[in-house]
Structure 1
Amino acid sequence: MAEGDSVANRGIRVRLDDTATESDIGALRKWLEREKPLDELVRAGELRIHEQRRTDETGSPMGAGMDIVMVLTGAAASTVFQEVLDRVKRAVTAWRDNRREVENGESPGARVEPVNTDDR
């Protein structure tokens, strides 16, 4: 077994509610990608951020039906997971506050939660 094979990937899912648009999903993803600690992990190859179609819900016709999934790999998966989860929660809150100030209407609701992942 190669080094790191026994370390499972850990994931974080960010799900906006059905009031979110595709534009909201893209804007939030870009916001997360610009967060310095997250950007550093991406550059080091220890974090992947991507959009994924919802698999457990069909979503409403008005909703975007997409999640943002962040996968921590290798050693980072176990050593910094809680720190990254907390950072993502704060970043999503900051994005929602910013969106409320620059766009009309209420920001979409958001859930940030750990998820089991395979190597996506």
Structure 2
Amino acid sequence: MRIGELSRRTDVAVYLLRYYEEQGLLHPQRGAGGYREYVEEDVAIVRRIRSLLAAGLGTSTISTVLPCLRDTGDRLVPTCSDLLADLHQERDRIAQVISDLQASMNALDDVIAAAPADVTRRALASLDM
């Protein structure tokens, strides 16, 4: 199948499929005229990539873990013993980002709470427009 069909079947834009190829996540064959040719397994690979991106992993990490994951239909299962340590590291990184964002939100809440009543009223009135 060509890239347009892969895009339709996975609901992923063509430019993203090309990006996944640039990142080494997809490896299409080249047909006559240089067109990318994808196989059925590429549909599953794109779905795994999308799941991992949604989980907060970057493409460089995905390129490392993708070969060590099996799709059972309802979840991705690690198949390489050393993969779990990498996944725990990524989880810890994401937890730290969440913690940092929570601290930023709390600091912003403090600034908002310190606003004088008249400023708060004007701000709320402008939101009702």
Higher RCO structure, 1 or 2 (CA under 8 Å, sep 6+): 1
Structure 1 and Structure 2 fold alike (TM over 0.5): no
Q: Greater Rg, structure 1 or structure 2?
A: 2
Give the TM-score normalised by the residue count of structure 1.
0.29
More helix by share: 2
Give the TM-score normalised by the residue count of structure 2.
0.27
More strand by share: 1
